[in-house]
Amino acid sequence: MTAEPNRPHGSPAPAASDGSAGGARERTSIPWNPGRHDLGMRATLLFPDREIVDRYYVPLIYTACRTCYSELDPDEIMARAVDGRVDPAKQRELISRVVDSGHGSTIEHVVFTFGISGVSRTLSHQLVRHRAGVAFDQQSQRYVKFKGASTMTPGTIAEADDELRGRFEAHLRDGLDLYGELVEAGIPGEDARFVFPNATRTNLVMTTNLRALIHMSGLRLCTMAQWEIRRLFQLIRHEVFAVSPFLGSFLAPKCVPLGYCDEAANRDEHCPIRPHRDTVLGAWAEKTRAAREAGRSLEVVDG
């Protein structure tokens, strides 16, 4: 049993998602923020450090952007950007403009590598669904013999009534004990691991270019995402901010750059970060109707 399963595409949000025991919560406030709870997971930026980001990352992205509009060779543009002949503020301004326009290839030239540890297999299964611009390596359950495999307990179960929580914990313990007995009896680890639950913790290394990282963050920082993976991307955003507040500022729920929410499960706008697309289109239809009644036209005239 999973306390708050990753919701299938477009399915309605559960009545209660506040991480507390069972009780229904009003669906009119900002959804529960897993960031307030210590889930025992970590995300560490392994590469680059602040010095490399400061010296090369923004100039490199700037060079990719500027090459499109310049007669200069890329190496000359890069040299000017690195030694400050091009004002860093102007570099950031061009990058923001290009990224806002959706010209994403310019930010594929820089990568970030994260060490991710203590996340559940429930999370890692979701994470590795991302294919474009991202590479993973994950701790093997074949080659690692787990003496004391640790597990993740969802907040809803940790705070559930004693009897239910006790059964959950006993179930995990029995599975891990059985794993130990199977290995002890000579069953290979690759077969003994079949008893491991989704709650089993795991470690990964993830390298992603900035475009893919923004895309993943857009999906996974969204309040429709499952709580554990949302927490992971909050940690990732924190790490990127620490080396570059400018680049970190691009990591946001997808509704922020879009300006509206496109999640079918949020038609009731229980998540208030941005209005739902239906509301925006409804307001536009209303504005058009009022303009027509007043004898004005809001239609865009082809220039």
Ligand X SMILES: Cc1cc2nc3c(=O)[nH]c(=O)nc-3n(C[C@H](O)[C@H](O)[C@H](O)COP(=O)(O)OP(=O)(O)OC[C@H]3O[C@@H](n4cnc5c(N)ncnc54)[C@H](O)[C@@H]3O)c2cc1C
Q: Which residues are catalytic?
A: 220
Query: Contacting ligand X (CB under 6 A), which of 75, 131, 162, 294?
Result: 131
CB of 53 or CB of 265, closer to ligand X? 265
Report whether the peptide linkage leading into residue 188 is cis, meaning its omega lies within 30 degrees of zero. no
Using CB positions, name the residue nearest to ligand X: 8
CB of 104 or CB of 115, closer to ligand X? 104
CB of 129 to ligand X, least distance (A): 4
Q: Do 133 and 211 touch, CB atoms closer than 8 A?
A: yes
By CB under 6 A, residue 85 contacts ligand X: no
Alpha-carbon gap, residue 17 to 82, rounded angstroms: 47
Binding mask 222-261 for ligand X (x = CB under 6 A): --xx------------------------------------
Q: Do 207 and 15 touch, CB atoms closer than 8 A?
A: no
Binding mask 89-128 for ligand X (x = CB under 6 A): ----------------------------------------
Alpha-carbon gap, residue 61 to 264, rounded angstroms: 35
By CB under 6 A, residue 39 contacts ligand X: no
By CB under 6 A, residue 130 contacts ligand X: yes
By CB under 6 A, residue 77 contacts ligand X: no
Query: Contacting ligand X (CB under 6 A), which of 36, 85, 129, 147?
Result: 129
Structure tokens at 278: 């239906």
By CB under 6 A, residue 9 contacts ligand X: yes
CB of 34 to ligand X, least distance (A): 14
CB of 66 or CB of 270, closer to ligand X? 270
Alpha-carbon gap, residue 162 to 172, rounded angstroms: 15
By CB under 6 A, residue 276 contacts ligand X: no
Q: Do 265 and 25 touch, CB atoms closer than 8 A?
A: no
CB of 213 or CB of 240, closer to ligand X? 213
CB of 92 to ligand X, least distance (A): 25
| Helices of type H across 160-226 | 162-184, 189-192, 210-220
∠ at Cα 214 (212, 219), nearest 5°? 95
Classify strands 201-209 and 134-138 as parallel, antiparallel or unpaired: antiparallel
CB of 6 or CB of 150, closer to ligand X? 6
| Helices of type H across the chain | 50-52, 58-67, 74-82, 88-100, 121-127, 155-158, 162-184, 189-192, 210-220, 227-243, 245-248, 255-258, 277-293
CB of 75 to ligand X, least distance (A): 30
Size of the residue set binding ligand X (CB under 6 A): 13
Q: Do 93 and 86 touch, CB atoms closer than 8 A?
A: no
Query: Contacting ligand X (CB under 6 A), which of 8, 148, 245, 303?
Result: 8
CB of 182 to ligand X, least distance (A): 30
Which region among 6-14, 182-190, 201-209, 284-292 touches ligand X (by CB under 6 A)?
Answer: 6-14
Q: Do 206 and 187 touch, CB atoms closer than 8 A?
A: no
Binders of ligand X among 188-217, rule CB under 6 A? 215-216
Q: Do 46 and 205 touch, CB atoms closer than 8 A?
A: yes
The contact set with ligand X (CB under 6 A) reads 6-9, 129-132, 215-216, 219, 224-225
